[in-house]
Chains A and B, each alone.
Chain A
Amino acid sequence: MNYNFKSIPSVPSAKDLIDTVLSKTQRKTPTEIHPQVQIARIRKFYMRKVKFTQSTIEEKLGEILEKFPKLDDIHPFYADLINVLYDKDHYKLALGHINKAKSLVESVAKDYVRMLKYADSLYRGKTLKKAALGRMCTILKKLSNSLNYLDEVRKHLARLPSIDPHTRSIIITGYPNVGKSSFMNNVTRANAEVQPYAFTTKSLFVGHTDYDFIPWQVIDTPGLLDRPIEERNIVEMQAITALAHINACILFFIDISEKCGYTVPQQIQLFESVQPLFTNKPLGIIITKTDLKRWEDLNPEYQQKIQEIVQKHNAFMSFISNENKEGVMECRNQACEHLKSFRENVKTKKVTTYGRSMPYVSVPRALNPSRPPHIPDSVIVEAQTGIKAREGPTPKEMQELQGGAGVFAIPPQAHFVELQDDDWKWDVMPEVMDGKNILDFVDPDILAKLEELEKEEEIQEDAHVPLDYDEYRDIYKVKRKIHLRRKRIQQESMMAKGTFKPKRKNLSEVEEGFKELGIDPSGLKDVVGVKRRRKPSPEIATNVEDFMDVEEGDGGEVIKKKLKLKNKALVKARKPGAIQPNPSRKELKIIGDEATKAFYDQKPQHIKHLSVGKRGIGKTDRR
């Protein structure tokens, strides 16, 4: 899938759209009609206008709908980015609005074309057309806001960096002002703005760098602050979407000089809070601005903390200074290597998982084949002794007392089987407790059952022995016998009824029948005679090229083509065993030369008046 949103054509404003549609109708449909011409022609004239306008509008709106990305189809990164930047609901609403308008215009056109059928004068046709076009334009006018919004979206989409979510990429993140953009400028040819204040970068930027002779995509994101996701603004959310959806190597920048305005513990805290986004992705902790403060000078407590993080997340660590470009290239190389090995790992893993043979599905047999009806003991006792084992109403009776089904629902707890303590039934059941939920405890001996099933499967597989050829033949013979016997009985009964019509059989079939009856079929051939064969047509033999010297000049090419087609058609027709489709009219016309050409699709013109048109009052042989 190509994520080039630059190709979305511009969305016209409602006014422009109306103007283009109306002027196109004016240009592309006939403009002159007179009151004295046939009424049918007048109707057609105006119907055409209405239909044309409708189809033009449909085409225009359809183009918009088609060209804008559908959020459900595109990569989730872009879907989320569009949601963050333009609000998914608003976006979908606008497109939905346009889609609705399209169908409304369609129904208006349908209505008015239907009414135009009954137009009895030019004036009426004209007013109806006017009303139809007016209503369509009103519908378009109401689209004004949506169209403007979509045009804004289009303009902004076109300016988005073209990030490919599938390639090798490196994402740079961290607090604002820690030197992310400076790093990107150093490793790629991008020219992002670098300023000594926070939130210099307000959107995603992309650059490309070459390592190991392959291009790598480097994505610079806006800085993040440490706060819950609901409070994050659009600028930060863009960074979050990139981090969440792109499978990339993530470089988390920590400014140990604290010149960015945030302390090292704060930066570590930020890492901890956004760290869920980094799971299953290669990670690097980058210590920046080492020219201002060296790693050795850092508080040993912080040093240890950072080391711990690196250990825990299996990350690599790198020290850079954008000022004197120390360690920048090493950092990039390390990141690329890390990502490369990670991707390779994932790939090999995938192969192993898909390498297994096709899973089979077996229908489990019931473990306990006899399943008699279950009648509770209490019911049996009640039936025998007549003493009610239960006090108070049953849940069903309760329901009726409380107002019947729909008003009062039997609580699900009422159905619970006997527990040790009856009061436990009504305990509130937490969905998750001690990190586990109820499903974790269901059926502990599932594995044992599975093993049993598999064993059963094996036994079944062993038991299956394929039939050999002889057995097949025997079965076939018996089958054939049954078939013939049934057929004979059928025929006999038909004969008795007098409805039997013998089918035409070919020679070999009759011979076989004779053989079965024990009669020598050798004389049969002479009686029946030899099968006729069609003589080969001379036309097939003729080569196309032989005709070529007959005609030259302008018509030559055409005739050549025709002949080729003709030969093709003939060869196709003659091929034995070929399924012959009915020749199309075009083919029929081509077959046969000028003199013998049949008028397949023409009515006899000279007597047309005898066969065409409605019969009026009068004679039956003239129309």
Chain B
Amino acid sequence: MRKLLKAHDGKEVNTTDKSAVPDGAVPGYLLDREGSNKTKILSNMVKQKRKEKAGKWAVPIPKVKPLTDQEMYQVVKTGKRKRKMWKRMINKACFVGENFVRKPPKFERYIRPTGMRFTKAHVTHPELNTTFYLDIIGVKKNPQSSLYTSLGVITKGAVIEVNVADLGLVTQGGKVVWGKYAQVTNNPENDGCINAVLLV
């Protein structure tokens, strides 16, 4: 542990920057500074690791436009006087699990209408250049917010897990891969279908 911390601490070094030293006469109190610079040098290992991590998450669509709450859902008024406004109806494409059971409607905070639920996606394999119509297993990450991830909202840039059992992909160990991540590349709520690129 101590070793690890040390590695991350880096080495304290003093470097001199010649260009930072002004030409000509220098007042006495500045004489021994000589443009010295105190920095930490990170170890190579740490550098490499950071790079790797960045590479792992390089996705086809690295940035998405943030969506406002208004765009994500619509407030549903409830109560006898229609004064309560704590219900939300999500009007984006959603994925709900196969055996999802709704809460009693009275207490359901987030309504995911059946009309906007999707179970399948058109997934393109970037190397094979072919598209498959695959079952969605789950929503891994919605870049808009973690709330949407947990609700299974699928917007552009969301990373979904798809069932690739039919593709016959095999791991190095020889096992058949059946779940793989894919990033959504279109706006499902506008197109009425989900297009995604497989992350390989």
Complex-state Cα separation, A112 to B189, whole angstroms: 11
**A341 on the interface (CB 8 Å rule)?**
no
In the complex, whether B192 has a CB less than 8 A from a CB of chain A is yes
- The distance in angstroms between the C-alpha atoms of A16 and B81, with both chains bound, is 56
Q: Are B115 and A127 in contact (CB under 8 A)?
A: no
**Contact yes or no, B191 A131, CB < 8 A:** yes
Q: Given B71, B81, B115, which contacts A115 in the complex, CB threshold below 8 Å? A: B115
Q: Among B83, B91, B113, B187, point to the contact of A617 (Cβ < 8 A).
A: B83
Q: Does the CB pair B190–A128 fall under 8 Å?
A: yes
Please, how many angstroms separate the alpha-carbon atoms of A127 and B190 in the complex? 6
Note all chain B residues with C-beta closer than 8 A to A114: 115
Decide yes or no whether B116 CB sits under 8 A from chain A: yes
Instruction: Tell me the chain A residues, 582-623 only, with Cβ under 8 Å from chain B.
Output: 615-618
Residues from chain B with Cβ under 8 Å of A90 in the complex: none
Tally of contacts, chain A with chain B, CB under 8 A: 37
Residues of A with C-beta under 8 A to B91? 118, 120
Least CB distance, A79 to chain B, in whole angstroms: 39
- Contact between B115 and A131, CB atoms less than 8 A apart: no
Tell me which residues across on chain A come within 8 A of B116, comparing CB atoms.
115, 118
B83 touches A127 (CB 8 A): no
CB distance from B121 to the nearest CB of A (A): 15
Picked from A112, A127, A617, the residue with its CB within 8 Å of the CB of B81 is A617
Per-residue CB contact flags for chain A residues 106-131 toward chain B (1 = under 8 Å, else 0) read 00000110110110100110011001
Contact of A98 with B by CB under 8 A: no
Chain B residues near A112 (CB-CB < 8 A): 192
In the bound complex, what is the Cα–Cα distance between A615 and B91 (angstroms)? 24
> Cα distance A162–B190 when bound, in Å?
54
How many residues of A are counted as interface, with CB atoms below 8 angstroms from the partner's CB atoms?
A: 17
Q: In the bound complex, how far is the Cα of B24 from the Cα of A268, in angstroms?
A: 131
Residues on A with C-beta less than 8 A from B189 are 115, 118, 124
Given contact pairs A120-B74, A120-B91, A115 touches B82 in the complex (Cβ within 8 A): no
Q: Which single residue of chain A is at the shortest CB-CB distance from B83? A: A617
A131-B193 contact, Cβ under 8 Å, with A118-B113, A118-B116? yes
In the complex, A120→B77 CA distance in Å? 17
A286 contacts chain B at the CB level, 8 A cutoff: no
- Separation in Å of the B192 CB from the closest CB of chain A? 5
Interface set, chain B 112-135, CB cutoff 8 A to A: 113, 115-116
Closest-CB distance, A383 to chain B (whole angstroms): 57
- Note all chain A residues with C-beta closer than 8 A to B192: 111-112, 115, 128, 131-132
Give per-residue flags for B172-197: 1 if the beta carbon is below 8 A from chain A beta carbons, else 0: 00000000000000010111110000
A67 and B116 CA atoms in complex are apart in Å by 39
B115→A117 contact, CB < 8 A: yes
Residues of chain B within 8 A (CB-CB) of A615 are 82
- Closest chain B residue, CB of each to CB of A128: B192
Closest Cβ neighbor of B81 among chain A residues: A617
Query: Would you mind naming 25 contact pairs between A and B with Cβ atoms under 8 Å apart?
Result: A115-B116, A115-B189, A117-B115, A118-B91, A118-B115, A118-B116, A120-B74, A120-B91, A123-B190, A124-B189, A127-B190, A127-B191, A128-B190, A128-B191, A128-B192, A131-B190, A131-B191, A131-B192, A132-B192, A615-B82, A616-B82, A617-B77, A617-B82, A617-B83, A618-B81
Seed contacts A112-B192, A123-B190; 18 additional CB < 8 Å A-B pairs:
A114-B115, A115-B115, A117-B115, A118-B115, A118-B189, A120-B74, A124-B189, A124-B190, A127-B191, A128-B190, A128-B191, A128-B192, A131-B191, A131-B192, A615-B82, A616-B82, A617-B81, A617-B82
